[in-house]
Structure formats: C-alpha cells, structure tokens
Amino acid sequence: MSLRLRVLAELRAVADPSRAPAMQAYMKSSMPRLGVSAPDFYKACRRVFAGVTFPSAAAWQREVRTMWRRARYREEWYAAVELTGVRAALPFQTPDVLPLYEEIIVAGAWWDIVDGVAKHRLGLLLRRHPRPMRRAMLAWSRDDDMWKRRASILCQLAFKADTDLELLYACIEPSLPSKEFFLRKAIGWALRQYAWTDPREVQRYVRAHDAELSGLSKREALKNIGRP
C-alpha cells in the first residue's frame, strides 16, 4: 500500500464523520473533511510516518506532491504538510524545495495551510540558507498572490531575538496599503510576536508608520504592550 493510502486509511479509522460538516464550515472550504480531531490526526501521522525514509530529495518531493495533489479531504492536505516536516526530510530542506512550498501555499490559499508552512518550513529554510531565502521572501512580499505575501511576512514568527528586522519590515512594506484582512492580520501578528522580544522597537515602528498601518494591524501589534 502506498504511503498516501496508508495515511488515508489511518485517518478514516479515527474519523468521526458526524463532526465533518461543522469542521468544513469552520474553514469556509468547499473541500470535504473526514472529521478527524487534531490530537487523533497527529497520532495517525506519527504512526504512518515513524521510521519513514526516502532514497532522495526527489523521491520525498514526489510523495508529498502525490499526497497533496490527489487529496480529496482536507486532512489529506494536512498530512502532506506534515510529511514535509518529518525527520527524514531534514537533509532535503534546501532552497530547491521552495517550489514545492510555493505550490502548497498558492493552492492551499487559506490560513490553516499557509501559516504552518510559513513558520515551520520557510522559517527553517531562512535559518539555514539566509541569503537565497532572503531574496526569495523579498520577491514573495511583492507577489500578486496574497498568500505568498502573507507567508513572507510570517516566516520569522519563531525567530525571536534572531529576527532580521530589515527583512521583516521590507516584507511588510508592500502590503501596508492593502485592504486584505489576511495581510493586515499578518502584519499585526508578526509585529506582536516580535514585541515579546523588543516591545519598544515595535512601539517605535507603529508610531513611525501610524498613518500607513491599518487599525487592525496596530491593534494586533500592540495587543500585549499598549502604546508608549
């Protein structure tokens, strides 16, 4: 049995179909759900992916793409994203994998897919390969695709004191005029996250860009620290 079918079988075994309609409605998605709770989902993935190996980066990417592209249920999409982060895939986390993550972000086109890929996958690539990833994220920040822009803004969420502020602000800047909720929210979230490290810097940035930042972005950025 293929890896994709093994995952699907495990997910079906722990699914509660009665919960599926509400879960689908919450995501505002036309893609059906199996009705798998988050704890059961992660347990199922651990069972299937434990000890999995790949002979090459190309083989791993093929498995991810197969799982992603053939998915009928949203949980299968989540499983494909989980497969991108298994231990066996760590050696393959190079800029060569960026087109795969781009496909997932553009096709997924919703926060439940995009945010995890941005924080955990793009973030890891940025730590490992800062120069090419910096160029890529700057390009994404100006892309026509809203979700690539959001991903560029959120890719340093876990960086704390290691945050490249120049890059963060450069990725935010092209989206400052946007009226898109998910971009405004991302800007505020990224700033709020960095505020745990340097609240005064975030207050300074908000003050300096008071006329450009949306009310939502400012509220989110200052939620835990307030104005100076």
State residue 38's pLDDT score: 96
* pTM check: above 0.85: yes
Looking at residue 200, its pLDDT comes to 96
Length of the chain: 228
Residue 90 CB burial class (10 angstroms; 0-12, 13-18, ≥19): exposed
Looking at the chain, the whole-number percentage of residues with pLDDT higher than 70 is 99
Q: Residue 111: name the closest of 84, 72, 151, 159 by CA.
A: 151
* pLDDT tens readout for residues 1-28: 799 999 999 999 999 999 999 999 999 9
Question: Is the model's pLDDT at 51 over the cut of 90?
Answer: no
Confidence of residue 228 (pLDDT cuts 50, 70, 90): low
pLDDT of residue 226: 62
Average pLDDT, the chain: 96
CA-to-CA distance for 29 and 110, rounded, in angstroms?
A: 9
Q: Average pLDDT of 192-202?
A: 97
Give the pLDDT of residue 227.
Answer: 61
As given in the structure block, the two tokens for residue 49 are: 């992916």
Kind and range of the H or E element at 146?
helix 146-154
User: Is 85 strand, coil or helix?
Assistant: coil
Domains of the chain as residue ranges with CATH:
1-88 (1.25.10.90), 93-228 (1.25.10.90)
- Take residue 6 and report the two structure tokens written for it: 């093994």
Q: How many CA atoms lie within 13 A of 85 on its CB side?
A: 16
pLDDT category at 205 given cuts 50, 70, 90 is very high
Which pLDDT score, from 0 to 100, does residue 44 have? 96
pLDDT at res. 157:
98
Q: What local confidence, expressed as pLDDT, does residue 19 receive?
A: 96
Q: How far apart are CA 135 and CA 138, in angstroms?
A: 5
